[in-house]
């Protein structure tokens, strides 16, 4: 049966939140809210940083569209609260969300399942001295990437091209997270591949190739300039795109993701080997965002995408399971 606005009931679009990506979450949430309302859904904005989540139950909300990004929204915490409240929500459940937000844990799962991802060294906020820096440089060489393990939107990310820049890069990342991920730099094409669905029925959408000014796809170039080019169709050879889609689909499935996600990938310019960097389980839905762009290339409008995701809202544990025998 095709979902209609009537069978969704009262819907909360969760936006804002407490993470460093609060500003971007509002951009995503407002877009989703307008799209749902345009289709007759009884949708309302709800900022968990301003209101207690228990208000969702008190106010009679029957579903939540999670448009939160980063910690306290994309990391399993809100998902766990909604499980306890018994309110179905969009996107991945508690475990997949909590693993996916942590780039190091994601890599560990992917490597165990033979999903290609760049080599890395994990450092702790309280151990960034000379010995740790030497270990990073010896293991990864230069250039390399330094990033917080549990942030998104390129916040706290630095490309290190000379050893003297490493201490500052580590310090910047440590301002955002206690875990600092140092990663092998892959020179080549930057692409992303969204995935929709769950389990064996999940589907990889068209790959988008990203061409950022001076190759710097940072926070500013992601959201606030029109200088970044997004190519969909990607212009990659068909066989190459299919390999990336297959890797993205497997990466999504082995983490147990559902609803939707977006896998970011670098393609080595020399070998054409794709390396998966991370997966976003609550991707952006702004005017510059990539999942709506890819979905549109696949014949799905922004509004249709929002309705599709809302229709997929679910709980990992049913009320019958919670109630016991």
Please identify every residue annotated as catalytic: 21, 153, 223, 262, 264, 278, 280, 284
Whether omega before 143 lies within 30 degrees of 0, making that bond cis, reads: yes
Strands in 72-154 per DSSP E = 120-124, 144-148
> In 3D, which of 317, 296, 281, 293 has the Cα closest to residue 66?
281
DSSP class of residue 200 equals G
Residue with tokens 């000014």: 213
Q: Which residues face 203 on adjacent strands?
A: 196
Question: How many residues are recorded in the chain?
Answer: 325
Residue 244, H or E segment: helix 238-254
Farthest CA pair distance, the chain: 63
Question: Is the distance from CB of 29 to CB of 54 less than 8 angstroms?
Answer: no
In whole angstroms, what is the distance from residue 244 CA to residue 236 CA? 10
Exposed / middle / buried, residue 298 (Cβ in 10 Å: 0-12, 13-18, 19+): middle
> In 3D, which of 149, 113, 99, 105 has the Cα closest to residue 256?
99
In whole angstroms, what is the distance from residue 63 CA to residue 90 CA? 8
In whole angstroms, what is the distance from residue 145 CA to residue 272 CA? 20
């Amino acid at each position: 049966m095709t979902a209609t606005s009537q069978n969704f009931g009262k819907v909360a679009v969760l936006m804002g939140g407490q993470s460093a990506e609060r500003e971007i979450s509002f951009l995503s949430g407002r877009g989703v809210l307008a799209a749902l309302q345009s289709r007759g859904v009884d949708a309302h904005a709800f900022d968990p940083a301003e209101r207690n989540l228990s208000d969702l139950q008190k106010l009679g909300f029957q579903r939540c569209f999670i448009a939160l990004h980063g910690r306290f929204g994309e990391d399993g915490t809100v998902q766990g609260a909604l499980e306890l409240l018994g309110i179905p929500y969009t996107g991945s459940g508690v475990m997949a969300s909590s693993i996916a937000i942590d780039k190091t844990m994601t890599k560990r799962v992917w490597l165990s399942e033979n999903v290609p991802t760049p080599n890395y060294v994990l450092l702790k906020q309280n151990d960034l001295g000379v010995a740790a820096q030497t270990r990073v440089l010896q293991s990864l060489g230069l250039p390399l990437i330094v990033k917080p393990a549990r942030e998104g939107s390129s916040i706290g990310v630095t490309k290190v091209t000379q050893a003297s820049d490493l201490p500052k890069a580590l310090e910047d990342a440590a301002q955002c997270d206690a875990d600092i991920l140092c990663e092998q730099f892959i020179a080549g094409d930057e692409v992303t591949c969204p995935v929709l669905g769950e389990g064996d029925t999940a589907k990889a959408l068209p790959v988008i190739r990203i061409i950022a000014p001076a190759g710097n796809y940072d926070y500013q170039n992601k959201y606030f300039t029109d200088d970044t080019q997004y190519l969909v169709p990607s212009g990659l050879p068909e066989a190459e795109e299919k390999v990336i889609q297959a890797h993205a689909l497997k990466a999504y499935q082995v983490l147990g993701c559902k609803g939707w996600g977006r896998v970011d990938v670098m393609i080595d310019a020399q070998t054409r080997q794709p390396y998966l960097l991370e997966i976003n389980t609550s991707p952006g839905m702004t005017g510059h965002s990539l999942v709506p762009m890819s979905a549109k290339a696949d014949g799905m409008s922004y509004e249709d995408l929002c309705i599709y995701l809302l229709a997929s809202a679910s709980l990992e544990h049913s009320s019958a399971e919670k109630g016991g025998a």
